[in-house]
Structure formats: structure tokens, C-alpha cells
Structure 1
Amino acid sequence: MPLSEQEQKLLDEMERSLYHNDADFVSAVGAGRGRLSYSSLVLGVLLAVVGLAVVIVGVVIHIPLIGILGFAVMFTGVLVALRPTKALGRLRGGSAAPGASQSGASRKPANKAGFMDRLNDRWDDRNEKND
């Protein structure tokens, strides 16, 4: 069911307000998962190839435990290959990430509360106009 013209305008206004008031959140969501690290990609592909070889060896010699171990290595390789660089900085204990997240966490509730308060006020105003 398509939105009415008034609902579409309200949605556009909410989107503009979100971009204006919560730029950090929009940039974090819009950035997606981050860029892939070349070294993580190479390491992950190598682990996946080794894991595949171990799976094949486990099938050939009829030992399921070796095949399962090879699958686990292969799966780990894929996870390492697809790991974004942002996660690497947090895992290595980067000092900039915790400080940024704390300041962002302390700042966001105020923006969110103000945004939600404005939405509630607009909702009340709209309901009063309709009555």
C-alpha cells in the first residue's frame, strides 16, 4: 500500500532530521561493514585452501574427524577473509575506538531523546488538528 502525500512528507522530514541530528549514527550505518584488509583477505584465503585440503584428505582416508577439523579451518578462513578493518582495530586494543564510542554513547541519547520528543509533539499536534 503506497504512502499518502502527508505520510511521505513526514517520512522525508524525519529522514532529514535524522541526517541533521544524528550524523555519527548515519555515517556508521551508511559506512556498512568497513573496508576489507588485504592481509586478512590473503590469510583467510590461505586458511580456506588449507581447510579444503584437510577436508579432502579426511574424505580420502575415511576419517570424519579430520574432515570436520578441515571444515572448521575452512570456515575460520572465510571469517578471517571477510573481517573488516574496523574490527581489527578494536581487537588489537586500539585506544582511539573506546574513547570515540564513549563520547558517541554519551552524546546520542540526548539527540535521540530530542528527536523522539519532537516526533511525539508533531504526532500530538496532528491528532489535535484532526479532531
Structure 2
Amino acid sequence: MTERKPPGITFESWADRQIREATERGELDNLPGAGEPLRGLNKPYDEMWWVKAKMEREGLSHLPPSLALRKEAQDARAAALRAPSEAMVRKIVAEINAKIDAAIRRPPEGPPHRLTPFDLDAVLQEWRERREV
């Protein structure tokens, strides 16, 4: 639909013709989401819906860095407890502890993170106990 509306034709008839011709050429067949209900119709209108959708698709976070670190620490602990081997638990805990240590030395923007490095022995003990059950 790159052509301009010709003079002397109403916009509605011009748009209808464009849609009809595209349909006849099959350009509107098998579009993503065809036949699916529109998402978010039951939610109140949000002006920033497109920003939130883009961030979700891109896997981005809108949290301040300090809160993002808290979330990352929480996720890392859960991943360590699900890890298949002790070596993997040690690796996960070492990586998040390094990030926590860096945040303690240079606090990130946002509210205080109030994190302390994980006790590797305590995490390993809990991992072992979960494996025995």
C-alpha cells in the first residue's frame, strides 16, 4: 500500500479497493495471530502497552539495577537448588556472589539491594538435602 490516494476518490473506497486487491493476491492469508482473540481486551487501556510488549519480547527489565540484582540473586539460588551436579551449584553461587560483591563495593542505582553473598556451604547442604528426598 505504497501508492497515494488518487484525487477524486473517497478515502473509504480507495482503502476498500486496496484491501480487496491484497486479499485477492493472497497477501492477507496466514498472517500471524489470524483467528486468535486479541490479547489484553479484558484489561484496562494502558498507554505504554507497546513499550511493555516490546520489552517482554526482547527479554528486557524495567527494574532499577539494584532490584534487578535482587531478582537475579533469587533466580540464581533457585537455579542452584535445581542444578544437576555439585559443580554446577558451585559455579552458579560463585557467579552470583561475584555480582553481589561488586554491588557491595559500588552500589547500583535504585533502592538499597541489601544483599550479602550466599553461603556456599549452606546452599550445598540444602541442595544435598533436596537430592536425598
TM, length-normalised to structure 1: 0.26
The higher-RCO structure (CA 8 Å, 6+ apart) is 1
Which protein is richer in helix relative to its size? 1
Bigger Cα Rg: 2
